[in-house]
Amino acid sequence: MGRAVGIDLGTSTSCVSIVKDGKPIAIPGPDQNLIQASVVSFLEDGNRVVGNSAKRMMIENAENTVYSAKRLIGRKYFSAEVKKAQAVSSYKIVEGENQSVRIRVRDRDYSVPEVSAMVLMEMKKIAEAYLGEEVDKAVVTVPANFNDGQRQATKDGGTIAGLNVLRIINEPTAAALAYGYGKGLKQKIAIYDLGGGTFDISILEVGEDVYEVISTAGDTYLGGDDFDDRLIDYFAERFMREHDLDIRSNRMALQKLKNASEKAKIELSEKLETRVLLPGIMETMDGPIDLDYTINRNYFGQMVLDLIQRTFKVCDEALQNGRLTVGDLDALILVGGPTKSPMVQEAVKNYFFKDPAGEVDPELVVSIGAAIQAATLTERKAGALLLDVTPMSLGIATAGGLMDTLIERNTPIPTESSRIFTTTHDNQTAVRIKVFQGENKFYEQNEPLGEFRLADIPPAPKGDPKIEVTFEIDANGIVNVTAKDKDTGRAQSVQLTVSGGLSKDEIDKLRKEHKDKDEEVATFKPTAELSE
């Protein structure tokens, strides 16, 4: 039997941790780095490179290097988010079957869970190299505000990677777990989690070994990447004004500018001013033109002020839903790379009237929390007990266009709710139920989860059959639907069509495929024993 790890599968970076001799630690990769880029680069010879070394290929192999795939996971092709990603990505995003998203690289289409699986496999390898043992189980984290489809797709990614996904837990919850581990706290804490692509705020009450999420709110399309995009646009616009050339129209130049912008952003956390120099970024008839600009922290701060303000709107919402004010909070924890920026820290401090907890590494804390949860589940010790909630309401479509809410947001999970359905005409053998997640009272404005079909209903006069349908949200935040005949107690078959998702057969097929491929190209073997 293999070991269990905790994996933070981030938009821009990922990290793997384990509890070793009762102490949770993050594990370094082949380059000794505790954090790996969530990037997969597909090479010409059919091999692929994952992690920090893949990130270095983003310029030379721009069209075949996939990054920020998490922004696409569990999304439908026609969603606004996918359109937005399409506009800024250097790789091709195409439509797959059933409104799904596919990534086209070197003439092959990959599903998004498959790309996530590649990153997860790399994290698995890193842990195996460190432990000298097989790793076959993991707790994987997701943004608290991920919906059912996004959670399911992440879990599918784990399965494809050959991992038994013990549990999907929320990133801010994992961070709270890491913060409170072994401290016996009795506190109310706020987790401000600004990642590469998503923002979450969770408010928890910790009672020694129990971690109760009081409320959570988030924006699944707001993160550090948006800060980069602002810088890219600023430099590109300025360049255009001066030279009448659009850097964004040239994939390789855009990739160079993207890397430089990200670097400049990080430098502005340390320095008050930074210079961005890209020699010969654009070719013209008269020869190459350089991009050479300096930017200072204040100016950058103004550029992203509205993005930071947007996070506080979400914080207001979470506090309000928890019937709390900032004065009720005992501690503030910052999570995610972008919270290292002094501008973000300053703004957050002003909002919460509180200094953030200093002992927490914003980039490692989530994976450490996941490792603690993995240990709790597998080692049968009374570790930390999570009492999490569902981030959005679950409901079904009704004839008048309204959503009939079955489970409200911020309901503790696991939870369930039942409804009795019947037929509307004689001898009807099937009933369709459309399920949605979201807060709008009209179902059309919410996210469709899928359609359930109650089939093989025995012929009877209309209104006679009484089918009790139970909607469950499990500890992973994933929705399960079961049905039974109310009179006979017999289980009623339920067929589910999830738009955009992978079928079980597809997942099994991919899992086998990747396993074979892995054995075939098992070229990466760490040679040196890594020390702590």
Partner 1 sequence: MVEEDFKRQINSLSKVIDDLDYYQILKVDQMSFEEDIKRAYFEESRIYHPDKYYTDPPEFQQKITAIFKRVCEAYRVLSDPEKRPFYTKLINGPDRKKYLRFDLRLLKAETEKAEDEGSSPLAKKYYKMAKTAIQNKDFKAAKINLQLAIKMESKNQTFLDKLKEVIDILASRKGL
Among 2, 96, 207, 301, binds partner 1 (CB under 8 A): 207
To the nearest whole angstrom, how small is the minimum distance from the Cβ of residue 427 to partner 1?
Answer: 29
To the nearest whole angstrom, how small is the minimum distance from the Cβ of residue 208 to partner 1?
Answer: 9
To the nearest whole angstrom, how small is the minimum distance from the Cβ of residue 170 to partner 1?
Answer: 14
Residue 153 near residue 73, CB atoms below 8 Å: yes
Q: How many residues bind partner 1 (CB under 8 A)?
A: 35
Distances (CA, A) of 338 to 57, 67, 319, 343: 23, 17, 22, 10
Footprint of partner 1 on 392-421 (CB under 8 A): 400-401, 404-406, 408, 411-417
* Peptide bond before residue 412 is cis, with ω within 30 degrees of 0: no
Among 94, 305, 357, 385, binds partner 1 (CB under 8 A): 385
Q: Is 171 a known active-site residue?
A: yes
Q: Reduce the DSSP state of residue 345 to 3 states and report it.
A: helix
Among 25, 88, 377, 455, binds partner 1 (CB under 8 A): 377
Candidate segments 11-19, 194-202, 371-379, 454-462, binder of partner 1 by CB under 8 A? 371-379
To the nearest whole angstrom, how small is the minimum distance from the Cβ of residue 400 to partner 1?
Answer: 6
Residue 121 region by backbone torsions, left for phi larger than 0, else alpha for psi between -120 and 50, else beta: alpha
Q: Which CB, 387 or 455, lies closer to partner 1?
A: 387
- Please state, in angstroms and rounded to a whole number, the distance separating the CA atoms of residues 279 and 291: 6
To the nearest whole angstrom, how small is the minimum distance from the Cβ of residue 203 to partner 1?
Answer: 14
Residues in contact with partner 1, shown as a per-residue x/- string from 315 to 354 under the rule CB under 8 A? --------x-------------------------------
Q: Does 204 bind partner 1 (CB under 8 A)?
A: no
Q: Which CB, 349 or 441, lies closer to partner 1?
A: 441
Structure tokens at 149: 């489809």
Q: Which CB, 52 or 418, lies closer to partner 1?
A: 418
Q: Is 8 a known active-site residue?
A: yes
Q: Does 80 bind partner 1 (CB under 8 A)?
A: yes
- Please state, in angstroms and rounded to a whole number, the distance separating the CA atoms of residues 64 and 87: 16
Footprint of partner 1 on 435-494 (CB under 8 A): 440-442, 445, 475
Q: Which CB, 441 or 514, lies closer to partner 1?
A: 441
Angle (nearest 5°) at CA 82 between 81 and 87: 100
- Please state, in angstroms and rounded to a whole number, the distance separating the CA atoms of residues 47 and 524: 11
Find the helix packing angle between 342-352 and 297-321, rounded to 10°.
Answer: 40
To the nearest whole angstrom, how small is the minimum distance from the Cβ of residue 526 to partner 1?
Answer: 31
To the nearest whole angstrom, how small is the minimum distance from the Cβ of residue 210 to partner 1?
Answer: 5
Q: Does 210 bind partner 1 (CB under 8 A)?
A: yes
Q: Could you please report the per-residue DSSP string of 95-125? A: E-GGG-EEEEETTEEEEHHHHHHHHHHHHHH
Among 95, 109, 209, 267, binds partner 1 (CB under 8 A): 209
Q: Does 430 bind partner 1 (CB under 8 A)?
A: no
- Please identify which of the residues 55, 70, 124, 155 carries the catalytic annotation: 70
To the nearest whole angstrom, how small is the minimum distance from the Cβ of residue 406 to partner 1?
Answer: 7
Residues in contact with partner 1, shown as a per-residue x/- string from 36 to 75 under the rule CB under 8 A? ----------------------------------------
Residue 381 near residue 374, CB atoms below 8 Å: no
Distances (CA, A) of 456 to 418, 424, 459: 20, 15, 9
Q: Does 378 bind partner 1 (CB under 8 A)?
A: yes
- Please state, in angstroms and rounded to a whole number, the distance separating the CA atoms of residues 297 and 41: 33
Residue 26 near residue 36, CB atoms below 8 Å: no
Helices (H), 89-193: 112-131, 148-160, 171-180
Q: Which CB, 327 or 400, lies closer to partner 1?
A: 400
- Please state, in angstroms and rounded to a whole number, the distance separating the CA atoms of residues 6 and 126: 12
Residue 474 near residue 414, CB atoms below 8 Å: yes
- Please identify which of the residues 193, 200, 228, 388 carries the catalytic annotation: 193
Surface-to-core class of residue 470, CB atoms within 10 Å of its CB (0-12 exposed, 13-18 middle, 19+ buried): middle
Q: Does 382 bind partner 1 (CB under 8 A)?
A: yes
Q: Which CB, 106 or 381, lies closer to partner 1?
A: 381
Among 276, 387, 455, 478, binds partner 1 (CB under 8 A): 387
Structure tokens at 476: 């992973």
Distances (CA, A) of 449 to 81, 320, 496: 16, 27, 10
To the nearest whole angstrom, how small is the minimum distance from the Cβ of residue 445 to partner 1?
Answer: 6
To the nearest whole angstrom, how small is the minimum distance from the Cβ of residue 413 to partner 1?
Answer: 7
Q: Does 187 bind partner 1 (CB under 8 A)?
A: no
**Which residue, among 490, 484, 468, has the nearest Cα to 421 in the 3D structure?**
468
- Please identify which of the residues 114, 122, 128, 171 carries the catalytic annotation: 171
φ/ψ of 387, rounded to 5, equals -120, 90
Q: Reduce the DSSP state of residue 448 to 3 states and report it.
A: strand
Q: Which CB, 66 or 413, lies closer to partner 1?
A: 413
Active site residues: 8, 70, 171, 193
Q: Contact residues for partner 1 (CB under 8 A)?
A: 80, 166, 205, 207, 209-210, 212, 323, 376-378, 380, 382-383, 385-387, 400-401, 404-406, 408, 411-417, 440-442, 445, 475
